[in-house]
Amino acid sequence: GENVEQHPSTLSVQEGDSAVIKCTYSDSASNYFPWYKQELGKRPQLIIDIRSNVGEKKDQRIAVTLNKTAKHFSLHITETQPEDSAVYFCAASRRGGGNQFYFGTGTSLTVIP
Amino acid sequence: ETGVTQTPRHLVMGMTNKKSLKCEQHLGHNAMYWYKQSAKKPLELMFVYNFKEQTENNSVPSRFSPECPNSSHLFLHLHTLQPEDSALYLCASSQELAGSLYEQYFGPGTRLTVT
């Protein structure tokens, strides 16, 4: 089965700086890679996703890059704000994979004002 | 109500009790999931249902019993639980279309405490 690894497990940045979270996956057939944000006491919510036919996707201050050859994808948050503080999870899934999503272990991001 | 709802939001039960968690999705999705989220641990997938049929059971103890009567409702029946089963139980739904998966929508979760 798929194995998703996520680093770092914790990350602290100054407000205004950038944050980068990296994930690797093992199954070359994986083709859908969502990122979820979970604020304290709340449900995980999708913030951005990317499919294997695209190398990069941006949405305002958030971007995701995908390197299919190296089997890794990264979340980039620019101009961080205190409200970006949360746990971020990456995930991987594939067509015909039994609807399974494989999640990373999460990164706790703290943005220091 | 829209999205994915879960009841109850909080549950305290003894080890000999029987209780059920309920999940309902109002999104017309065809796949539903149960996850367990423990403190400082990743999301653990427990069960997957696709078009009401269970497609995955990730070695979950038999004291957890899922039920999916239709594509909008999902239950998790609990029986003779252990204190280590205390966690946040999240339900999610997603849509598979032409073999491609789309994002999962999560419910608010049930915070379960086993005493």
pLDDT digits (tens, 9 = 90+) for A67-113: 999 999 999 999 999 999 999 999 998 766 566 788 999 999 999 99
* Mean pLDDT estimate for chain B: 89
Question: Residue A99 and residue B45: Cβ atoms within 8 Å?
Answer: no
Contacts of A45 in chain B (CB under 8 A): 106
Percent of chain A with pLDDT over 90: 79
Please compute the mean of the pLDDT values over residues B34-57 and round it to a whole number: 83
Chain A residue set in contact with B, beta carbons under 8 Å: 31-32, 34, 36, 42-46, 49, 51, 89, 93-106
Do residues A49 and A37 touch, judged by C-beta distance below 8 A? no
pLDDT of B1 over the 60 cut: no
Contacts of A32 in chain B (CB under 8 A): 100-102
pLDDT of B96 over the 90 cut: no
Distances (CA, A) of B107 to A38, A52, B11, B19, B88: 12, 27, 16, 19, 11
The nearest CA of chain A is from the CA of B31 a distance in Å of 7
pLDDT per residue over A8-57, tens digit each? 999 999 999 999 999 999 999 898 999 999 999 899 999 999 998 889 99
Residue predicted with more confidence, A49 or B56 = A49
Question: Residue B104 and residue A106: Cβ atoms within 8 Å?
Answer: no
Provide the pLDDT confidence category of residue B43 given band limits of 50, 70 and 90. Answer: confident
Contacts of A51 in chain B (CB under 8 A): 100
Contacts of B100 in chain A (CB under 8 A): 31-32, 51, 95
pLDDT value for A41: 86
pLDDT value for B95: 86
Contacts of B43 in chain A (CB under 8 A): 44, 89, 103, 106
Q: Is B53 on the interface with A (CB under 8 A)?
A: no
AA identity, residue B33? Y
Among candidates A43, A45, A98 on the partner chain, residue whose Cβ is nearest the Cβ of B55 = A98
Question: Residue B42 and residue A89: Cβ atoms within 8 Å?
Answer: yes
pLDDT value for B25: 96
pLDDT value for B50: 83
Q: What is the DSSP string of chain A?
A: ---EEEE-SEEEEETTS-EEEEEEES-TT--EEEEEEE-TTS--EEEEEEETT-SEEEETTEEEEEETTTTEEEEEE-S--GGG-EEEEEEEB-TTSTT--EE---EEEEEE-
